[in-house]
Amino acid sequence: MVSVFMIIAIVICISMSLTSVSAFQATQGPTEVIQYNPFKAYNGYTLFRGQGGLEIKHGTAWLIDMEGQVVHSWPDVVTNPQLWPNGHLTHATTGYWRGEEDPDGSWIRELDWEGKIVRKWKPPADRPDLNGFHHDHKLIFNKKLNKQAMLALCYFRYPLKDVIVNGGDPSVFKSDQSAGGIVEMDMDGNIIWEWHLTDHLIQDFDATKNNYVGKGQTIADYPGKLDTNWGGRLQNANGLDYNEKLDQILWDSKNNSEIWIIDHGRTFIPNDPKGSRAKAAGEAGDILYRWGNPSVYGAGDGPWYKYGKYGNGHQQLFNIHNGQWIDEGLPGAGNIIVFDNGYDRTGETYSTIVEFNPYDGPMENGVYVPQMKAGYEKNGLSKQIVWRWNEKLYHRFARGLFSFHISGMERQPNCNTLICAGEDGHLVEVTYGDPEKGELPEIVWEYINPDTDTHGVVKHLRMDMYNQVYRAHRYGPDYPGLKGKDLTRKGTITEIAAVGAQKITQ
């Protein structure tokens, strides 16, 4: 006997497939669930933060089911909400300078299921050099302490005088810099480990200044360090991940278009923050592996244009976000996946999800193969790439997917990938496909955020509306953080807004 749910699911699948057959830069059109194939999508609950319209201070974190029905929400959430196995949610401010986003200062907050603040991590009052946290943070298990800890991207103030004495070009650097770094805090907010980008610089600009390359050497001889003067600014990061097996940290640089991996295990000394800081500042804290754009350290060719012809050289990534290891137990586990925003690519502009395998042997061995050594296919793609997705790669006339900034993706247990094209609040789930069988990736779920900044909740998006979504996360029905929780369907976001007499635009 066919259940009522199955009949409804079939109707939804057919009707939504008719309304939209491809994902594209959704700057206008209907909001919420656009298409849904319940037979191929990974069933779960999707978490994202809306803009909050004119109603509340920051925004609402919405947890929706596959049909766009809200099952829970947290008000007054800032950026990158994440649901943890204990059922709590964390989110963060994003200001470059301490207190820019909030009079209470830069922070990461932990909320319980009801939205009550359980814990807050803040830059210590005696650390004026720590400007504030970035949006990316990750709850980890520190094996050396046998305890949980919080990793956070952050900004460190780097005075102009230090920039110049360490080889910065004074014609480019005119003021203090806000340089990227990472801090690890215990659950009481104490910093127990930190890594500063500025401890790992090299330069070939001024032989009389610090960090100058060795005699007869070039920047390319220092792949573990960053060129102080490349790009005319000190770099920051936009993504953060942790590999517990390798005890390594991955972060990505939007400006450099690179994935960076550093060694946490060799630089962390239990119960010795000062010793850990010193180790992380030394050679053991140099970049262990980098991938995506070898031209930034002189190891490969960058994009070029000449006489109407162009190419991208050895560069594989073009302004990126949300680099991460694919988690253990998921298809492709150990590989690295990243949202390549793509706006500096020569030729046609579109965003791409890129998955690559950087290893020589099993991931657990921790042996990485340099990008240039791995080689390239005839089309210029790295041989380490194992999967890419944008509709334009598979369908000649597809409109494609593009996000100028932010964005991210996650691999799902059924091998699908949930993608967040953040600039346009556009969430897409695609299958992996099987090239050997001639099966192309297929869009099986698509959602447009209706929760805009200045227009409130909208049923139909216009180009003048701002519905950005920083990231989206999918949690399966068996996720520990959902156990015992009330997941009653409360209506779609537009339905809830209408009932609550909030501002809603048809």
358-412 per-position pLDDT tens digit: 999 999 999 999 999 999 999 999 999 999 999 888 887 677 889 999 999 999 9
- 34 contacts 19 by C-beta, under 8 angstroms: yes
Question: For 37-64, what is each residue's pLDDT tens digit?
Answer: 999 999 999 999 998 764 555 789 999 9
Question: For 452-483, what is each residue's pLDDT tens digit?
Answer: 988 889 999 998 898 999 999 999 999 999 99
Please give the residue that has the higher pLDDT: either 241 or 232: 241
The pLDDT confidence band at residue 319, using thresholds 50, 70 and 90, is very high
The pLDDT confidence band at residue 502, using thresholds 50, 70 and 90, is low
Written as six digits, the tokens of 105 are 């200062």
Question: Quick one: which of 380, 318, 379, 378 has its CA closest to 354?
Answer: 318
DSSP state at residue 321: E
CA distance 266 to 278: 12
CA distance 407 to 341: 8
Residue 198 amino acid letter: T
Q: What is the pLDDT of residue 441?
A: 94
Domains and CATH numbers, the chain: 4-505 (2.130.10)
- Can you give 243-304 as a three-state secondary structure string? ECCCCEEEEEECCCCEEEEEECCCCCCCCCHHHHHHHHHCHHHCCCEEECCHHHHCCCCCCE
CA distance 390 to 399: 10
The pLDDT confidence band at residue 504, using thresholds 50, 70 and 90, is low
Q: What is the pLDDT of residue 3?
A: 47
Question: For 260-298, what is each residue's pLDDT tens digit?
Answer: 999 999 999 999 999 999 999 999 999 999 999 999 999
Written as six digits, the tokens of 497 are 């807004």
CA angle 40/334/242 to nearest 5° reads: 110
Please give the residue that has the higher pLDDT: either 67 or 397: 67
Q: What is the mean pLDDT of residues 438-450?
A: 94
Beginning with the edge strand found earlier in the chain, give each strand of the sheet holding 289-291 in spatial order: 239-243, 248-253, 258-263, 289-291
CA distance 304 to 487: 53
Residue indicated by tokens 């940290």: 249
Written as six digits, the tokens of 74 are 């947290």
Q: What is the pLDDT of residue 53?
A: 60
CA distance 338 to 417: 11
Question: For 323-357, what is each residue's pLDDT tens digit?
Answer: 999 999 999 999 999 999 998 888 888 999 999 99
Dump the DSSP string for 410-440. Answer: EE-TTS-EEEEEGGGTEEEEE---BGGGTBP
User: Considering the entire predicted model, what is its pTM?
Assistant: 0.92
Question: For 203-216, what is each residue's pLDDT tens digit?
Answer: 999 999 999 999 99
